Every structure is written in C-alpha cells, then in structure tokens.
Structure 1
Amino acid sequence: MSRDFDLFVIGGGSGGVRLARISAGHGARVGVAEERFWGGTCVNVGCVPKKIMVNAAEYGAWADEAAAFGWTIEKGAHDWAKLAAARDAEVSRLNGIYARLLGGAGVTSFDARATFIDDHTLQVGDKTITADRIVIATGGRATRLTIPGAEHGLISDDLFTLKALPKRVAVFGAGYIALEFACLLQGLGAQVDVFYRASLPLTGFDQDIREVLPEALTANGLRLHPGVTPTALSKNGEATVVHLPGDATLEVDAAFFCTGRVANTRDLGLEKAGVEVNEKGAVIIDDDHATNIKHIYALGDVIDRMNLTPMATAAGHALADTLFGNNPRKVSYENVPTAVFTSPPIGTVGLTEAEAAARGPCDIYVARFTPMRHTISKKEGRKTLMKLVVDQKTQKILGAHMLGEDSAEIMQGIGIAVVMGATKQDFDRTIGIHPTAAEEFVTLRTRTRVAGG
C-alpha cells in the first residue's frame, strides 16, 4: 500500500528537524509538521535566548569588577528593550535556518498541528496524511504548581515575552531552569527570591556541587529559601502576592514557576494509534526509540529520558541512519556532558560520587580554590570547585564535575576523555595549561577520600 510519506515527523524541534533532514538525504520521502515555531524549545524559549540573556548579565558583573584591574566603568541602567530586540533577531535568524535546512533537503514542511487518526494516518491541519513510519518529537511543556492562584504566575516561556525587567522576582524551583533564570534576572538588576522544597538546589547533581552552590548564589545577591514552597498566589493591583507557610507573604512584580516540565503528548491522539505512555505522559520507547507500535518512534523531551537538545539531535541522526541509511546504530545516554548556566556556571559529565559509589569503591579528588581573576577583584563567593570520580580498580574517570568560570567550555573537552575511557593516569601525564583553572583537572594528585565499598 502506497502512503504519502516514508516518514512523517511530528514536531520541528532540533531532534525532529535533524531526523527529517538526514532521512531525506538518505532518499526517504519525508514530511514534518510544527504547530508553534521551528527549532522547538531550545531555539525559541530555551537554550539560545536564555544564553544570550546570561551573557548580558555577565557584562554587568564584569563592569563591577573592572575597577580592581584599573578600569573605570560607569555602569548605567540596563536597556531591556535593546537586549530583547537583539535576542529576538537571533531567534528569528535561527528559525529561518531551520526552515531552509528542511527545504534544501527536500522535506515537505507543514505549519500545522498533527494528531493521530490511526497508527499510519495523521490529521495535519486540514489535510489527512499517511506515512509508513511516524516519529513523535513534540518536546515538553512547562507546568505550574497546583496551588490557588497559580494562573497569576508565569512559566519559563514567558520570560522571553516580558516588555521590561521585573524589579522584584520570585522563582519557584531549584532545578537548572529555575537557577539560570534567577541568576540572569539578578544579574540584569532584579532582586530575586528563590523558593524550593529540598534542602539543597539541583537535585540529582553531585553532592559537592550542590553544597557549595548556595554560597555562590547568595554572594550574587540571590535570596534562597530552602524547604519553602508557596501555598497560593494572589494579585494586589499590578503586583503578585506570594503566600507562604505560616501566613507570610512576599509581594513581587513577577513569579516564575520553574518546577518542572512534562512530555507534550496531550491531545495528540496517541490512544488512537495504540501508543503507550507512562504515568507522567511520556512516550515509552525501547533502545531503538521504537514505541510499542513498532513503526512509530519517539525522541527528545517527549520521552523524558535526558532532556538535552544535543541528545535529541544525536538520537534523530542515529534513527535516520538506522531507518534509511543502511547504518543501524544507537546513541548512548551515558557520559553526556552538560552545563548549568548559573553564575558561576556548572559543568558536569559522567557519574556523581553517589552513583559511582553504588557500583563499587572509587577514589574522589576534590579541589576548591579562588581563581586568579577573583584573587584580584576580591569578589566574594567566587570560588571554583573541581572534582574527579575515579573507579578504584580500573582507575577510569567515571565522573568530572566543576563549578566555576568557563566550566561549560572546559567540560566539553573533559567529556571527550571520559567517553574515550581515560584513566586518572592519562590525566596525570597530561601537561596543564598554565595559568588556567582547567589545569587543576590534570594536577590533582592527593586523593580526598574513598567512596563506596
């Protein structure tokens, strides 16, 4: 039976676009539908515009420290509108690139919502389309806490539509999105209060990083409220009132829910195709990214496995090669480098100490120091932490973790070594680049402790 497409992709984010483009390059007839914006969360309301705003906040901090190095810089008020215009222009440019990539590859694009009619048939806008294989790549969506007045709070997407900097901000949550937003808003001139349920931020990250991060955040002026979550929101004129346990309140100009994202599977008609989801609504897949319906696949945030743009892109490329390129292959979800663009930033790859210790004895190496720039600027709370987790038997590097300037850039290179299976001795015989913070990774000689057993 001849169908309209060999492959149809629901979702025009990074993973879906890479899958569609590479599949078409292999000769497949490919269609892709996107109902909101090409490039998905990352390009439009995530990584790209966020990093631009992180960069903007860093300039203010550098201006504050410049006097220690002999520069006289008069820092005026930040121009939010100018930043927003530059940010939005870059997002628009990237939107165009995504569209051109698909067109150049011969992919048929639909600016429309796609939903299942059955396991081979989709309703795409006002068209009915059939495909031999279908891939769900619809990403995730932000959620709010289920508290009274939650509608008065904002979600992460809303940051990029604000017309002015809110001077008083409450952020709910302590994951990477919450902390990145808190840091960039504080750096641009807001006073930010962060409320979170746990005793430490960044649940799931290495414990040493979690323990030292609050010092750095507090030194930047953030007000942290561990173990505190809002009970309700209300309005007082233009202001938002945050209601807290014990009848305490805080009045702010904006309150952001950064308390998690869920797979964007609502109203896709998955039940009509027989596709199974888990209790959180994420699509269940096997190691080949196939659902329980073997010609329907899923990748990216919609599977809620590792919600990182490069991971989705790599999975999309691998699936295209497998289905149409005569090159069956999988991507590994282990040893994936990642970063948190707080101030200072965090870079990490591999296992945490706790994860490694659960597998067996491991040697832990930790260094904490004030980097050269801040020995001059005297900026409080800007210590760097660097850590290696080493398998005691094989001496392989199981994990590397860093809090400090340039950690994301440094961790990309460390990630290559970890993926290749480098040992502590490989690190030891590598000559450091002096003077840098990165050289500490190859000069750690004294074991801090042994974990596991």
Structure 2
Amino acid sequence: MLLLKNTDEIVRLNGIYKRLLSNAGVKLFEGEGRIVGPNEVEVIQLDGTKLSYSAKDILIATAITSDEALSLEELPKRVVILGGGYIAFEFASIWRGMGSTVNLCFRKELPLRGFDDEMRALVARNLEGRGIILHPQTNLTQLVKTTDGIKVTTDYGEELMADVVLFATGRIPNTKRLNLQVVGIEVDSIGAVKVDEYSRTNVPSIWAIARMFQNVSIR
C-alpha cells in the first residue's frame, strides 16, 4: 500500500509540475539532454530521436533522487541506517513509526553536523524517545548476508541484524552524462559544477543550479 501511494504521489506531483510549466509557456521535451556547445543543447528523446536547440543562455538543473527507499515491496522489520543527516532521520522516523526496529549509526558524537549543538542534542533525545537506537561515533565495517538477514558489524565489533541497510552518507551531483567537458565547464572533485555567486559557470553563457538529492544506497 505504501509503495502504491508513493507511486501515485510521484505521478500526481509530476503532472502538477508539467501543467505549471505549460501554463508559463515553457516547452517540455522529455529525454536525455547534453551540452554540445556554449550555446547549444542536444536532447535525445524517449523514442531515440535527437533534437538540437540553440540559446543565448543555458541553465543546468539536474538531480538524483532517493526514491528507492520508498519503493521496497515489503516493510523491513529490522533496519540499520548509516548517516547523520536529515535524510537518515526522515527514513529512521518513517520506518520506526511503522513498527520497524531501527538502529541509526553516525560518525560524530551528535547528529546534524553544522547545526547548533544544543539543537543537535535535542534532536538526538527526540529520536531516542521514539524508540530509535542511536550509535554515535560509529561506522560500519562489514555486511554479511545470512539466512536470517544481513549481519552488520560496526567498528566497535558490535553485530546488528537487519533486513535492510540504508546508507545515507553524502551528496553526489548528477552531471556525468551532460557532456560538460566539450565546452570546458569546470567541475570539482566529485563532479559538481563550479559556479560563482550568481550561479554562473566559467562559460559565460551557461549557468547551473546547485540542486542535488541525498545519495541513498540500500542493501
């Protein structure tokens, strides 16, 4: 039921976004887009045909999603999550709220690095109050599939059993297939497009929106 509801909601939201774009006079072409010149984009449509468009300015806005975590066909009874950010907390709360046993491991003493320490401590207490088992300053060293599920070993030697292991440990840009190198667009070590304070790349006619979703891996 959750999977069906999730799919229905994604379809509904996509329909709303398409209507908003259409009402604003935006032409929508579904397919894979890539840069072929400082002022030219190629779109490979779903049927394989290619379209080419020229423009004064080009805006790059790409993303990957964590839909897979909500696409499980069965509710896991035991979950181990590695991550100390808001995505890890969201899924920990969802699964715990549905009755799963949830072990949440994160590498720092407190979760939500970069936020106020008092607020971080409050969040940790609230998570524990919901019945989520916290493992601060903990990393995972080994996953072994067994007949009883996945045996998870921490760097403290503790063993946890899980039906699902979720890694919510970072953000990655979705730029590998955009052909950015053809016009010399600069990216950083993980592939994120470098922009200035006005979101402009090193190519004056090309701009980029820093929009990335949490990289989620499910085992």
TM-score by length of 2: 0.87
Query: How far apart, CA to CA, are the structure 1 residues paired with 2:129 and 2:157?
Result: 28
Larger deviation: 233-242 or 290-299? 233-242
Query: How far apart, CA to CA, are the structure 2 residues paired with 1:105 and 1:85?
Result: 31
| Contact map agreement 2:138 2:156 (CA 8 A) in 1 | no
| Contact map agreement 1:119 1:274 (CA 8 A) in 2 | no
Instruction: Report what 1:85 is aligned to.
Output: 4
RMSD, aligned CA: 2.0
Greater per-residue strand proportion: 2
Deviation at 1:227, TM superposition (A): 1.0
Instruction: Report what 2:57 is aligned to.
Output: 133
Instruction: Report what 1:37 is aligned to.
Output: none
Q: Deviations over 1:285-325 (max 9, x none)?
A: 122211111110011325xxxx7xxxxxxxxxxxxxxxxxx
Alignment equivalent of 1:116, drawn from 32, 35, 38: 35
Q: Which 4+ stretches in 1 moved above 6 angstroms?
A: none
1:174 matches 2:84: yes
Query: How far apart, CA to CA, are the structure 1 residues paired with 2:200 and 2:111?
Result: 34
Greater per-residue helix proportion: 1
Partner of 2:165, secondary structure, is strand
Partner of 1:113, secondary structure, is strand
Partner of 1:193, secondary structure, is strand
Query: How far apart, CA to CA, are the structure 1 residues paired with 2:147 and 2:178?
Result: 38
Deviation at 1:265, TM superposition (A): 1.4
Q: Which structure has the bigger radius of gyration?
A: 1
Instruction: Report what 2:26 is aligned to.
Output: 107
Query: How far apart, CA to CA, are the structure 1 residues paired with 2:58 and 2:151?
Result: 46
Query: How far apart, CA to CA, are the structure 1 residues paired with 2:160 and 2:197?
Result: 47
Instruction: Report what 1:293 is aligned to.
Output: 203
Larger deviation: 222-231 or 243-252? 243-252
Deviation at 1:84, TM superposition (A): 3.5
| Contact map agreement 1:121 1:129 (CA 8 A) in 2 | yes
Extract unaligned runs of 5+ from structure 1.
1-80, 143-155, 308-453
1:190 matches 2:87: no
Query: How far apart, CA to CA, are the structure 2 residues paired with 1:124 and 1:187?
Result: 43
Alignment equivalent of 2:175, drawn from 254, 262, 265: 265
Partner of 2:128, secondary structure, is helix
Tell me: CA distance 1:105–1:246, structure 2 relative to 1, closer, same or farther (3 Å): closer
Partner of 2:169, secondary structure, is coil
Query: How far apart, CA to CA, are the structure 1 residues paired with 2:18 and 2:129?
Result: 43
Q: Deviations over 1:316-374 (max 9, x none)?
A: xxxxxxxxxxxxxxxxxxxxxxxxxxxxxxxxxxxxxxxxxxxxxxxxxxxxxxxxxxx
Q: Deviations over 1:390-430 (max 9, x none)?
A: xxxxxxxxxxxxxxxxxxxxxxxxxxxxxxxxxxxxxxxxx
Correspondences of 1:394-413 after superposition (within 5 Å): none
Query: How far apart, CA to CA, are the structure 1 residues paired with 2:70 and 2:55?
Result: 36
Q: What one-letter code is carried by the residue in structure 2 that aligns with 1:174?
A: G
Partner of 1:231, secondary structure, is strand
TM-score by length of 1: 0.44
Query: How far apart, CA to CA, are the structure 2 residues paired with 1:300 and 1:95?
Result: 21
Query: How far apart, CA to CA, are the structure 1 residues paired with 2:93 and 2:101?
Result: 10
| Contact map agreement 1:186 1:192 (CA 8 A) in 2 | yes
Sequence identity (%):
38
1:209 matches 2:119: yes
